[in-house]
Amino acid sequence: MEVPYTVENRPDTGLYNAKVGIWLFLASEVMLFGALFSSYILLRVGALEGHWPTELLNVPIGTVNTMVLILSSVTVVMAWASLKLNDFKKFKMYQLATVICACMFVLIKSYEYRDKLTHHDVVLADGMRVDGHLVEETDEYIILSHPVSYPAVKGIGYRPTAIKEAEHGDDHHHAEDRKIMLADIVKRTTWGPWANTYFAIYFTLTGLHALHVIAGALVIAYYWGPGSKMWKTNPEQFTNRIEVSGLFWHFVDLVWIFLFPILYLL
């Protein structure tokens, strides 16, 4: 059985079927991310004054990642335009550039994740709280780099205002690496999704987005590699497939355009 309207437009919609299909899919994706965005808003608005973590993410790295994704959005649309101009070599070049951008994005994101997952938050028996990056761990002690210490408050987890005060204080600002005996530790956690509400929504939103980036990159890589054979047998359908995969990629870019200011800058 042949799939209808893969190239020619359907009379009632004026579009080939795959295009209507991808737009319907993107509409469902808007609702998926919309639900998570609204969850973020609810958590953010509901947080007590001074308790919502800010400035924990690296803005220059986030900006670079934004630029990478914007660039990939241009290369993906240029790949489609190259096919329209019958320039297959340029298509291959732009398609490869998109895949490289996607890999860069995922690598940078992985670096950010690693940075957070090695950041330890420790509550000590003397009532102080220390956070910093884990440098060394033995059976007896851990060593944290760039530690920031501030008084722990029972019942309250992460306190950005207390950290800010500690960072501006002469005694605590980025002191030497700190050795902490395991016997002195009451509670220890890392800045993963389990750390607090902020990191839970941060990892959920960026993790889901990263999965979309990986999925989109796999499709684009397929049409750059083995899937590109179709250009010889059915160039119009191939061009349409590139347009459809491009639409998905632009959506991924759109989501990041909103995620970046919300998570990194506010």
Residues that bind another protein (CB under 8 A): 13-15, 19-20, 23-24, 27, 30-31, 34-35, 37-39, 41-42, 45-46, 48, 59, 63, 66-67, 70-71, 73-74, 76-78, 81, 84-85, 154-156, 246-247, 250-251, 253-254, 257-258, 260-262, 265-266
Minimum Å gap between C-beta 77 and another protein is 5
Nearer to another protein by Cβ, of 122 and 247: the residue is: 247
Minimum Å gap between C-beta 112 and another protein is 16
Phi then psi for 193, rounded to 5 degrees?
-65, -20
3-state secondary structure of 111: helix
Minimum Å gap between C-beta 8 and another protein is 14
How far from 97 is each of 13, 166, 242, 246, CA to CA, in Å?
Answer: 33, 44, 14, 13
Nearer to another protein by Cβ, of 15 and 134: the residue is: 15
Residue with tokens 């750390």: 195
Minimum Å gap between C-beta 256 and another protein is 10
**Exposure on the CB side of residue 110, measured as CA atoms within 13 A:** 9
Nearer to another protein by Cβ, of 182 and 215: the residue is: 215
**Exposure on the CB side of residue 115, measured as CA atoms within 13 A:** 11
Could you count the other beta carbons within 10 Å of the beta carbon of residue 217? 21
Minimum Å gap between C-beta 183 and another protein is 28
Nearer to another protein by Cβ, of 84 and 173: the residue is: 84
String of DSSP letters for 119-177: EEEEEETTSEEEEEEEEEE-SSEEEEEEEEEEE-BTTB---HHHHHHHHHSTTTTT-S-
Minimum Å gap between C-beta 260 and another protein is 7
Nearer to another protein by Cβ, of 25 and 113: the residue is: 25
Nearer to another protein by Cβ, of 61 and 117: the residue is: 61
